[in-house]
Structure 1
Amino acid sequence: MRILSWNIRGLGSEVKREAVKRLCRLSRAFVYFIQETKLEVIIKDAVRKLWRDDNCEFRFVAAVGRSGGLLTMWDKNKFILFKDWSDDRVIAIEGKWVKEDLDVVLINVYAPNIVSEQCTLWGVIMELRNQFASP
């Protein structure tokens, strides 16, 4: 299981997209958590270009204004999705690592800097424990 997380601080430029493509090629991770995409829309064709083929699935959360935005991508031969959930700062995916035959929940988080908002986010994450059965 290889998971990579990166706060890209904007995925709108060609330079950043090329950096993610290079990262996907070199790291060969099974799951990528990208935070702060600053994109309102992410289409399948754009994700396929980042991944370099059709062997991936993804979920995204749109940015609000010029901040936030999440993208979770995974190799659909390595991880099989059962269920997903998202809000403006979290993408949670429940599924199975195929090779290990292990059910898991993976969470991509874009945390706020304001303490009161952090407390709210932790409440959301704790509530996710009730929605998902897997570790």
Structure 2
Amino acid sequence: MNIISYNVRGLGRGVKWGAIRRLVRNHKVDILCIQETKKEHIDKSMCQALWGDLNVNWEFQPAINTAGGLLCIWNDLAFKVERSIKGRGFILLEGVWTQENKKTVIINIYSPCDSHNKRELWESLKQLRGQDPEGLWCLLGDLNSIRHPSEREGVSQRGVEASSINEFNEWISELELVEIPSVGR
């Protein structure tokens, strides 16, 4: 299954829409997860234009004013969604990866930057995992956290607290997640 996660930093129109359509077409994408749409409203015609096809399924979480916003678009032939859950900072899609006939959970995340709300998001996701641990779990998006100080490319290392890094790594371990290599930035 081909999944693309893209922090678009404002969905706007024009150039970004064309770039997204090309990504979907060129990489034969099955699921597209977009963070920071900065859109309060998204409709089917917008999703069809982004996906490049009329046959499209989607879920979105609106931005608050111009902050955040999440969008998931998928090919129903590759991923049959059976339920979705929207929480503060995430959209969870649970369904069947049809090619492998495996239960799969995809979570598109845009985490708050402040520690308190970030911890609340982590706790929500941990509870969801605990309630339904079966199947493949894929968390993606912008977690606004790092696993190692060297990940703060081009930013002063002084602001990176070891405790927040340790807490993030512990959360990843508790959920039994494995970081997979990603392509691009």
TM-score bracket for this pair, using the shorter chain length? over 0.9
The residue identity in structure 1 corresponding to 2:63 is A
How much does 1:89 deviate?
0.8
Pairs within 5 Å for 1:1-135: 1-132=1-132, 134-135=134-135
How much does 1:41 deviate?
0.7
Higher relative CO (Cα under 8 Å, sequence separation at least 6) belongs to 1
The residue identity in structure 2 corresponding to 1:8 is V
Q: CA RMSD in A?
A: 1.3
Any stretches of 5+ residues in structure 2 without a counterpart? 136-185
The residue identity in structure 1 corresponding to 2:36 is E
How much does 1:133 deviate?
5.3
Any stretches of 5+ residues in structure 1 without a counterpart? none
Contact 2:6–2:35 at 8 Å: present in 1 too? yes
TM-score (ref. length: structure 2): 0.69
Q: Percent identity?
A: 36
**Residue-by-residue CA offset, 1:9-49 (whole Å, 9 max, x unaligned):** 00023221111111111111111110000000110011011
Instruction: Write out the 4+ residue segments of structure 1 that deviate beyond 4 Å after TM superposition.
Output: none
Contact 1:20–1:50 at 8 Å: present in 2 too? yes
Larger Rg: 2
Secondary structure of the residue aligned to 1:20 is helix
Structure 2: how far apart are the matches of 1:62 and 1:114? Answer: 20
Secondary structure of the residue aligned to 1:92 is strand
> How many equivalent residue pairs?
135
TM-score (ref. length: structure 1): 0.93
More strand by share: 1
Structure 1: how far apart are the matches of 2:115 and 2:133? Answer: 29
Structure 2: how far apart are the matches of 1:131 and 1:84? Answer: 14
